[in-house]
Amino acid sequence: MATVHARREPGRYLVLIGLVALAGLMLVPFAIVVLNAVKAPADYAANGPLSLPQEVRIQGIVDFWQRVDFGRKLVNSALIAGSVAVLAVVVSVLNAYALGIGRIKGRLWVLVLFLIANTLPQEALVYPLYYLFKQVDLYDTRLGVVIVFTIVQAAFGTYLLSSTFVAFPREILEAARIDGANKWQVLVRIVVPISRPTLGVLFVFFFIWTWNEFFIPLVLLVSADNQTVPVALGVLQGQRLMDATTTSASALLGIIPAVAFFLIFQRTLTRGLTAGAVK
Amino acid sequence: MSLAPAVDRPSPAEPTRSAPPWRSGGRGGYLVFLVPGALLLLAVVVVPFAMNVGISLTRWSGVGDPVWIGLENYRKLFADSAFWASFRHNVGLVVAMAILPTIAGLVVAAALFDFVGKRFGPRTASVLRACVYLPQVLPIAVAGIVWSWILAPKGGALNAFLDAVGLGSLARDWLGDPDIALYSVMGVLVWIQLGYPVVIFMAGMQRVDPALLEAAELDGASWWGRFWHVTVPGIRPEVFVVMLTCSIAALKVFGPIYVLTRGGPAGATNVPSYFSFQNFFERTRVGYGAAVATVLTVLILLLTAFFLRVQNRREDS
């Protein structure tokens, strides 16, 4: 064995170097954004995108923040993503309780329906939603977007939770029943507390997915006051009015919350990805 | 709180030992839990989708009354070269988002898990994994902003880099040249997508029995041999899930196209989802856009059904 390993010695560092290079390559765009977000426009014009900034200047970021009222976009995004995450977890739990533990008749078909709802392209829903929401005054409201994504995310949550609820220990449910608990009490006092880790993962998923949504919020939220972070940045980018340093500043402001969530939720996230990967 | 019990609560005193009590109350009692989800599903998915199919059978500008024209939109669609081109571009995106990341993801995940993780410690492996995964957490619109500026013809970082290393002749208008714009978009998508298979495959590899790998190693199998004959078959379920979800995501791509190219130049990067968006909101040919969206839906559902069938058959055999 020792000789085998010894023979591989140079090789193993080559593999490591290759992987480090790959990781570096993945990070280069982030580095370039940071580099230029703190660069003065004149410095950029003179030295291009790859030079180190002559001085760190956050004025560009501040200007951009104020120009687009970025704080407001952050609040919108947090409000929408937070509400959707809570509501979608609640709806997923209710659905999965009926399907996985209640085992209602025809549950397979209901499950297939939710799965299809999760797979449907939003393009096939967007125009009727746009039209209907205009009729009922939900167009260009944050509530409208919350309603849409609650069910879009809950469709996935129902699918995932139902399969874990099917495997829920029956003895516990039976014991609670014998003690006189009704269906609501079983749900609230037993099923929810025991499946709290899975619900936490779902919450994180729903929050981040909703935060990152682009297509439907782009269509439904037209006024600047209601727009989310990705929509506001995407629309500005589409207008092609920003100079290079402003573009980097805007990108940096879009990156920071995402990376913050990533760092905060990293453990839950990777664990959760595994939960979703294997049926 | 008072909704459910009224329906049919089995009296706890009743000795229902033979039938499990949580079911003896009948299944009707649980239906009430489905009500909020079912109502939302109806209002947000079922009705709008049915309306979309209905609209696709009409000529409609979004205001006034739609005019019934039967399958005319579909007939026009299948003769529309722009529509077929958008699907061809979609194939490119499937390559960029599903096929390339799966292949590269298998190699990277195996190298990180089986090699770096074992010889340099799991911390090194997880830091490298986090770096590769990072683009995945970005809002797709933000990723698009980053890249549209890096790839800009004047003052873009990529061309500046090529100039700096003496390869200035390779500088291009990466997103503005119809011949290469699609490849540029594909490159961006590979960057975005790679972390997803890597994370999922590494998680799956924890399930592969280390004894199998050791046995193969003792039998003199090379690293590649073990990779192909032990690791890859061991995580087949993950490979299927990644291929399915990434292919569907590739068919639905909208954000990167909207931010990077707006389907241009001259339609060179247009995809069905952006094509339908254009018809809905820019050209106000709502019926036609609805037809595009319906065809896209059918395609995605067929693909899903196909994948699930293949997966089930593999598991049966």
CATH of the domain at A177: 1.10.3720.10
At which residue do the structure tokens 């999922």 appear? B200
- Residue A25, number of CB atoms within 10 A of its CB: 12
Is A215 close to B48, i.e. CB distance below 8 A?
no
Residue B59: strand pairing partners: B67
Nearest-by-Cβ selection for B120 from A16, A152, A234: A16
| pLDDT per residue as tens digits for the range B114-136 | 888 888 888 888 889 889 988 98
Q: What are phi and psi of A16, to 5 degrees?
A: -60, -45
- Asked whether residue B51 falls in the same domain as residue B83, the answer is no
Banded pLDDT at A22 (limits 50, 70, 90): very high
Question: If you average pLDDT over residues A258-272, what whole number do you get?
Answer: 75
Banded pLDDT at B17 (limits 50, 70, 90): very low
Contacts 24+ apart (CB under 8 A), A260-264: A261/A207, A261/A208, A261/A211, A261/B137, A262/B133, A262/B134, A262/B137
- Asked whether residue B288 falls in the same domain as residue B142, the answer is yes
Is A182 close to B131, i.e. CB distance below 8 A?
no
Position A228 in a domain: yes
Domain carrying residue A77: 69-241
Domain carrying residue B51: 5-55
Query: What residue in A sits closest to B135 (Cα-Cα)?
Result: A26
Banded pLDDT at B2 (limits 50, 70, 90): very low
**Has residue B5 got a pLDDT over 60?**
no
Comparing A136-150, A213-227, B41-55, B121-135, which segment has the lowest mean pLDDT? B121-135
Q: Chain B residues with CB inside 8 Å of A179's CB?
A: 12
Comparing A52-61, B26-35, B108-117, which segment has the lowest mean pLDDT? B26-35
Position B18 in a domain: yes
Position A78 in a domain: yes
Please compute Rg for chain A using Cα positions.
24
Q: Which residue has the higher pLDDT, B35 or B307?
A: B35
Question: From the CA of A208, how many Å to the nearest CA of chain B?
Answer: 8
Q: Chain A residues with CB inside 8 Å of B119's CB?
A: 12
- Asked whether residue B47 falls in the same domain as residue B119, the answer is no
Position A9 in a domain: no
Q: Supply the pLDDT for residue A26.
A: 92
The total domain count for chain B is: 2
Question: If you average pLDDT over residues B70-77, what whole number do you get?
Answer: 91
Question: If you average pLDDT over residues B37-46, what whole number do you get?
Answer: 94
The total domain count for chain A is: 1
Nearest-by-Cβ selection for B157 from A49, A126, A147: A49
| pLDDT per residue as tens digits for the range A45-101 | 888 788 888 888 888 889 889 988 999 999 999 999 999 999 999 999 999 999 988
A72 contact partners, CB below 8 Å, separation of at least 6: A225
Query: What residue in A sits closest to B304 (Cα-Cα)?
Result: A119
Taking the CA of residue B120 as centre, how many other CA atoms within 13 Å lie in the half-sphere pointing to its CB? 20
The encoded tokens of residue A261 equal: 């969530």
Whole-angstrom distance, CA of residue A117 vs CA of residue B49:
10
- Asked whether residue B49 falls in the same domain as residue B159, the answer is no
Nearest-by-Cβ selection for A102 from B30, B44, B108: B30
Position A106 in a domain: yes
- Asked whether residue B43 falls in the same domain as residue B132, the answer is no
Q: Chain A residues with CB inside 8 Å of B116's CB?
A: 15-16, 19
Q: Supply the pLDDT for residue B229.
A: 87
Question: From the CA of B99, how many Å to the nearest CA of chain A?
Answer: 17
Is A128 close to B286, i.e. CB distance below 8 A?
no
Residue A20's closest CA among B76, B42, B131, B99? B131
Whole-angstrom distance, CA of residue A112 vs CA of residue A105:
13
Is A259 close to B137, i.e. CB distance below 8 A?
yes
A218 contact partners, CB below 8 Å, separation of at least 6: A231, A234, A235, B258
Composition of chain B by helix, strand, coil, percent to 5: 70, 0, 25
Average pLDDT, chain A: 86
- Asked whether residue B15 falls in the same domain as residue B113, the answer is no
Position A233 in a domain: yes
Comparing A48-57, A205-214, B9-18, B206-215, which segment has the lowest mean pLDDT? B9-18
- Asked whether residue B82 falls in the same domain as residue B172, the answer is yes
3-state secondary structure of B58: strand
Position B292 in a domain: yes
Q: Supply the pLDDT for residue B146.
A: 86
A72 contacts A229 by C-beta, under 8 angstroms: no
- Taking the mean position of all CA atoms in its chain, how far away is CA B44? 21
Position A269 in a domain: no
- Asked whether residue B125 falls in the same domain as residue B45, the answer is no
Position A122 in a domain: yes
Chain B contact present for A192, CB below 8 A: no
Is A98 close to B31, i.e. CB distance below 8 A?
yes
The encoded tokens of residue B46 equal: 């079922």
Q: Supply the pLDDT for residue A9.
A: 57
H helix intervals, A97-212: 107-119, 123-135, 142-166, 170-178, 183-186, 192-194, 196-212
- Asked whether residue B241 falls in the same domain as residue B154, the answer is yes
Q: Supply the pLDDT for residue B10.
A: 40
Query: What residue in B sits closest to A34 (Cα-Cα)?
Result: B146
- Asked whether residue B181 falls in the same domain as residue B252, the answer is yes
**Has residue B7 got a pLDDT over 60?**
no
3-state secondary structure of A57: coil
Nearest-by-Cβ selection for A182 from B5, B28, B119: B5
**Has residue B194 got a pLDDT over 90?**
yes
Is B293 close to A23, i.e. CB distance below 8 A?
no
Chain B contact present for A32, CB below 8 A: yes
Chain B contact present for A13, CB below 8 A: no
- Asked whether residue B94 falls in the same domain as residue B235, the answer is yes
Q: Supply the pLDDT for residue A271.
A: 59
Is B155 close to A154, i.e. CB distance below 8 A?
no
Q: Supply the pLDDT for residue A70.
A: 92
Sign for the CA dihedral angle at A106, A110, A116, A122 comes to: positive
Comparing B25-34, B70-79, B104-113, which segment has the lowest mean pLDDT? B25-34
- Asked whether residue B82 falls in the same domain as residue B209, the answer is yes
A235 contacts A254 by C-beta, under 8 angstroms: no
Position B188 in a domain: yes
| pLDDT per residue as tens digits for the range A148-178 | 999 999 999 998 898 888 888 888 888 998 9
Average pLDDT, chain B: 84
A202 contact partners, CB below 8 Å, separation of at least 6: A88, A89, A92, A157, A160, A161, A272
Please compute Rg for chain B using Cα positions.
26
Query: What residue in A sits closest to B312 (Cα-Cα)?
Result: A279
Position A277 in a domain: no
Position B286 in a domain: yes
